[in-house]
Amino acid sequence: MRFLEQLSDTLRTILNKLNCFTKPKSPSLQKALDAYYRNNSESKHNRTVDATDIKRLISYPRALDFMDPDTVWFKREQGQGPNRQPMCMNDMWPSEIKEMFIMLSIMLNGIPYKVCGLSALAAWGYTSRMPVFLTIACTEDSQRAILAWAEKAGMPSHPEHPDSFGIQVQDGTIRKIHIEAMSDFAFHSMDSTFHSPSNVPVNTLAAILDALAEIYVRNDLDEMRRAVLQDDIQWILRRIIAMDSIVHKLRRETCPHVWHPRFWPQFMIDRPDMRDFFHMATHVPDHPHHAPPPRVQTSSDLLPPPPPPRQTLRRVGRRRPL
């Protein structure tokens, strides 16, 4: 046991030093986890890692000790393989999403990831459509590390979803967590912020709107799904205006697909009534040197300008007599 505790402290030190945001070329977390599992399997006792060991491994916060470990960790029997349980695919309640956020902050402490998709939209108050599972985005190295940890910890898994694992919520049901791997550039390009009180990184409303703008211009999208996206975009814009937070405001650097000429003209043709909402939801930077000039910059200056009107060429010079 003493040897296992020393290995846990060593791995926790390694996880604290590894940071994909500031050191992209650092060794992957998978190597650290593989070293821990290899040393653990070669130890004298060679026993299965249980909930107590995993809780110590990722620095389980004292503030959350009131939670029953059985509701956080899905244990497996001694000497048996990982549990394979059917996952609940009903719509999630907002309370379940908050509970899963707290679990994610505990389980994935030290591993970079971001909550995205409909799960992120529901985190900011969207209730028209609720997610049936939680989606997190991360790099490929982080995905391998998370899946290896979930398998070793005995988290519920499903043979038809190798890129997912389950966690047991307080009511006893098992909820699915889908891990979407992407490139390092795409992962770091997504704008995110920490969602209180769990401090889980969640995509901002601007990042979600940018993802919807990319989907909106696809050729295989039917009219019914495009109408649903229009309602979602309208809700996001209204929410950004109501929150009035600079974190969620639209910017060119965080919303490249919104400013793309493929999306903006088409969306303005479909929903011209949304132009003012885009104006109010766009961030207007302050003047960098002194007070604002007499003409205050409006958010419409950041939107793609309309095409210039056609001009007819006028002939210059005297006409030749007939």
Lowest mean pLDDT among 269-278, 294-303, 309-318: 294-303
Taking residues 124-150, what's their average pLDDT?
A: 92
Q: What pLDDT sits at residue 202?
A: 95
- Rounded CA-CA distance 47/79 in Å is 8
Taking residues 211-222, what's their average pLDDT?
A: 90
Lowest mean pLDDT among 50-64, 121-135, 217-231, 274-288: 50-64
Helix (H/G/I), strand (E/B), else coil: 228: helix
Q: Residues with Cβ < 8 Å from 319, sequence gap 6 or more?
A: none
Q: What pLDDT sits at residue 69?
A: 32
- Rounded CA-CA distance 148/133 in Å is 20
Maximal C-alpha separation, the chain? 111
Q: Which two tokens stand for residue 299?
A: 């958010």
Q: In the β-sheet with 192-195, what is the strand arrangement from edge to edge?
A: 164-168, 174-182, 134-139, 114-115, 200-203, 192-195
Q: What pLDDT sits at residue 142?
A: 93
Q: What pLDDT sits at residue 84?
A: 54
The structure's pTM equals 0.63
Specify whether the CB–CB gap between 118 and 151 falls below 8 A. no
Residue pLDDT, tens place only, 79-92: 455 455 667 888 99
Q: How confident is the model at residue 194 (pLDDT cuts 50, 70, 90)?
A: very high
Residue pLDDT, tens place only, 154-165: 888 877 788 999
Q: Using the predicted structure, report yes or no on whether residue 244 has a pLDDT greater than 50.
A: yes
Q: What pLDDT sits at residue 290?
A: 36
Per the model's pLDDT, the better-predicted residue between 35 and 138 turns out to be: 138
Which 3-state string (H, E, C) describes 88-123?
Answer: ECCCCCHHHHHHHHHHHHHHCCCCCCEECHHHHHHH
Q: How confident is the model at residue 71 (pLDDT cuts 50, 70, 90)?
A: very low
CA angle 263, 265, 269 (to 5 degrees): 110
Q: What pLDDT sits at residue 296?
A: 34
Q: How confident is the model at residue 112 (pLDDT cuts 50, 70, 90)?
A: very high
- Rounded CA-CA distance 139/144 in Å is 9
Q: How many residues does the chain have?
A: 322
Q: Tell me which residue of 285, 188, 298, 189 sits closest to 246, measured CA to CA.
A: 285
Specify whether the CB–CB gap between 98 and 125 falls below 8 A. no
What percentage of the chain has pLDDT greater than the value 70? 61
Q: What pLDDT sits at residue 309?
A: 58
Q: Which two tokens stand for residue 310?
A: 């056609």
Q: Which two tokens stand for residue 301?
A: 């200056």
Q: Using the predicted structure, report yes or no on whether residue 36 has a pLDDT greater than 80.
A: no
Q: Where are the domains of the chain?
A: 2-203, 205-284
For the chain, the average pLDDT equals 72
Q: 73-110 in b/e burial notation, b at 16+ Cβ within 10 A?
A: bbebeeeeebbeeebbeeebeeebbebbbbbbbbbbeb
Q: What pLDDT sits at residue 13?
A: 62
Q: Using the predicted structure, report yes or no on whether residue 31 has a pLDDT greater than 80.
A: no
